[in-house]
Structures are given as structure tokens and as C-alpha cells.
Amino acid sequence: MLRFFSDIYSILWIDLRNMRRQWKPMVASSIVLPLLYVVAFVYGLGQGLEVNGFSYLFLLFLA
């Protein structure tokens, strides 16, 4: 059982070292990708879509 936790610690330590070097691309992709989805839905679906008289863009930013 102790060997199991030692293995977990080793993998965690390697992942944390790699993450320390690559944190900027990880943060950038976490911010940029959702924004791209919003832009795609606004310009793709939002042009002609209305729900109860409100535009899709209004409903998207209201929620």
C-alpha cells in the first residue's frame, strides 16, 4: 500500500514540474477557447435567432 502512494507522489511531482514550465499556454487556452465559442455562437446562430422577442445575443449575455 505504501508503494502505491509513493507512485502517486512521483507522478504528481513530475506533472507539477511540467505544469510550472507550461502554465502560460494552459491559462491562455483556458481563456481564449471559451471566447472563441461565444464569438462563433453569436455570429453563427445569433444573427437570425430570436426567443420570445429577444435576440440570442441579449439572452447569452443576460445569463
Q: In the structure, what pLDDT confidence band is assigned to residue 46 with cuts at 50, 70 and 90? A: low
- pLDDT, tens digit (0-9, with 9 covering 90-100), for 3-22: 899 999 999 999 999 888 88
Q: Which residue has the higher pLDDT, 58 or 18?
A: 18
Helical pair 2-21 and 23-44, crossing angle rounded to 10 deg? 70
First to last CA, the chain: 48
Residue boundaries of the structural domains of the chain: 2-62
Q: What percent of the chain is predicted at pLDDT more than 70?
A: 92
Tell me the average pLDDT across 17-38: 88
Res. 49 pLDDT band, cuts 50 70 90: confident
